[in-house]
Structure 1
Amino acid sequence: MVSIDTTPIGDLWARVFGTQPAPEAWLVYVTAAVALLVVVPRPLWRLSRNAITIAHEGGHGLIALVTGRRLDGIRLHSDTSGLTVSRGKPTGLGMILTAAAGYTAPPLLGLGGAWLLAAHHITLLLWVTTALLLAMLVMIRNAYGALTVILTGAAFLLISWLTGPDVQAAFAYACVWFLLLGGVRPAFELQSKRRYGHAGDSDADQLGRLTHVPPALWLFLFHAVSLCSLIGGGRWLLEL
């Protein structure tokens, strides 16, 4: 009988699904400060917002597939806007959930990431994120979008594969803080655009037409999800 050495597979399984040591408290606070630094100043936000757009459009695409719609493609643009095109019934629950998934996806992903980090699954978080980015890459339909997703996915893959626990922890906590904090700002930006009549075809307005519920109430939902995710995720990360 030939013996097959499965140790490498077992080591990989343990590395991905095992737990890692909790970082020092100072690192959690420092990564929160770094995330805040790239979210608040407008020049840095114009660059970092690309990552929020990836999560936003990925949310649209994922829920479109889950609800049985046909996903035709996703485009990411250099002005940090994006477009997700799906086919199916133009009304109904599937379309409503798909439209509502964009602004809620980044904070909810941050909340899920905070839950994994609170359980000390740092490497698993990095690998799951890499897998989601790889799956999204298949549906990207423009060069800028493909480049953005490839570079983001490469960063997660290299950090998870080549670095030690301390670097992985710092990167993972910074990313989750960024999703939680960065997930709050787009709803306020949308609110400002709607106030001046510059967002007539926004997700909130589309949801208003689909449900006959005022867009302002959908905007309130976006605010509620992002702020509650920030509070809940922040408590997990800070171990309060």
Structure 2
Amino acid sequence: MDRLAATALPDLWDRLLGTQPNPDRWVVTGTALVALAVVVPAALWRVARNAITIAHEGGHGLVALLTGRTLTGIRLHSDTSGLTLSRGKPYGLGMILTAAAGYTAPPLLGLGGAALLATGRITLLLWAATALLLAMLVMIRNAYGVLTVLLTGGTFLLVSWLAGPQVQAVFAYAVVWFLLLGGVRPAFELQVRRAREGGGDSDADQLARLTHAPAGLWLFLFHAVSLCSLMGGGRWLLGL
């Protein structure tokens, strides 16, 4: 038993940190086109946006913990909205960073994923995503949120354990392209909504109240992060 464990552990470590061959160029461009075809049409986007909401609310929660706040729960709703609750000072740097993390999380996760794929670490990407989803599951406080995160995490787990290298590559590249492309659209949706309805309780408006800087400035930050992540991550994925 000890000998088996001694053999299995290094193999598992090598599998996690080892590199996999880069997929063919058609896989990279094909998954980009598939992700674009999911993000652009409104009907598909309404369903796929749930994954962006998971990343959005996960970003709020992670930064809340990193800045010393107490994360009390995350809720994901069927209309693709979400809510992350944390305890701590209702002002200050920790609160500002927590509020700013939502719209920036999906594109930054995509950028980080692109960096891993550029170095051939497909398995590490899939396992890291699974671990983050499992950690997030503990903090979900409603049934729809639990179902959504379980299905998403289960998909990552099945692909990472059961699928072959080519399928893993296609799945990983599709996910990263989706985060990069899907991370751009919510900031534009927020901009349109604010133009129609005026100020409200969006992340940009909360940041405006916290910092006394205009909500438009924070909206510009969301645009800048998402577009720069798309350009940088796209270059890595395409090997430019």
- With normalisation by structure 1, the TM-score equals 0.98
Which residue of structure 1 aligns with residue 89 of structure 2? 89
1:143 aligns with 2:128: no
Q: CA deviation at 1:196?
A: 1.0
Q: Partner of 1:73: helix, strand, or coil?
A: strand
4+ residue runs over 6 A deviation: none
Distance 2:192 2:220 in 1: 13
Structure 1 spans left out of the alignment, 5+ residues: none
- Aligned-residue CA RMSD (Å): 1.0
Q: Partner of 1:74: helix, strand, or coil?
A: strand
Q: Partner of 2:3: helix, strand, or coil?
A: coil
Q: CA deviation at 1:12?
A: 1.1
Q: CA deviation at 1:203?
A: 0.2
Which residue of structure 2 aligns with residue 221 of structure 1? 221
Distance 2:177 2:214 in 1: 31
Which residue of structure 2 aligns with residue 234 of structure 1? 234
Can you list the C-alpha shifts for 1:93-112, whole angstroms capped at 9, x where unaligned? 00000000000000000000
Which residue of structure 2 aligns with residue 195 of structure 1? 195
Is contact 1:181-1:230 (8 Å) kept? yes
Which residue of structure 2 aligns with residue 174 of structure 1? 174
Matched AA of 2:132: L
Mapping for residues 89-128 of structure 1, pairs under 5 Å:
89-128=89-128
Residue correspondences, number: 239
The verdict on how the C-alpha distance between 1:66 and 1:53 changes in structure 2, with shifts beyond 3 A counting, is same
* Larger CA deviation: 4-13 vs 14-23: 4-13
Q: CA deviation at 1:14?
A: 1.0
Can you list the C-alpha shifts for 1:13-60, whole angstroms capped at 9, x where unaligned? 111110001000000000000000110000000000000000000000
Q: Partner of 1:90: helix, strand, or coil?
A: coil
Q: CA deviation at 1:8?
A: 1.4
The verdict on how the C-alpha distance between 1:139 and 1:198 changes in structure 2, with shifts beyond 3 A counting, is farther
Matched AA of 1:79: D
Q: Partner of 1:196: helix, strand, or coil?
A: helix
Distance 2:3 2:159 in 1: 30
* Larger CA deviation: 129-138 vs 8-17: 8-17
The verdict on how the C-alpha distance between 1:86 and 1:3 changes in structure 2, with shifts beyond 3 A counting, is closer
Give percent identity, aligned residues only.
76
1:205 aligns with 2:205: yes
Distance 1:82 1:3 in 2: 46
Can you list the C-alpha shifts for 1:72-92, whole angstroms capped at 9, x where unaligned? 100000000000000100000
Which residue of structure 2 aligns with residue 27 of structure 1? 27
Q: CA deviation at 1:229?
A: 0.1
Q: Partner of 2:86: helix, strand, or coil?
A: strand
Is contact 1:118-1:236 (8 Å) kept? yes
Which residue of structure 2 aligns with residue 4 of structure 1? 3
Matched AA of 2:148: T
Distance 2:145 2:225 in 1: 26
The verdict on how the C-alpha distance between 1:94 and 1:166 changes in structure 2, with shifts beyond 3 A counting, is same
Matched AA of 2:8: P
Q: Partner of 1:223: helix, strand, or coil?
A: helix
Structure 2 spans left out of the alignment, 5+ residues: none
Q: CA deviation at 1:4?
A: 2.5
Distance 1:177 1:187 in 2: 17
The verdict on how the C-alpha distance between 1:127 and 1:214 changes in structure 2, with shifts beyond 3 A counting, is same
Is contact 1:190-1:199 (8 Å) kept? no
The verdict on how the C-alpha distance between 1:96 and 1:32 changes in structure 2, with shifts beyond 3 A counting, is same
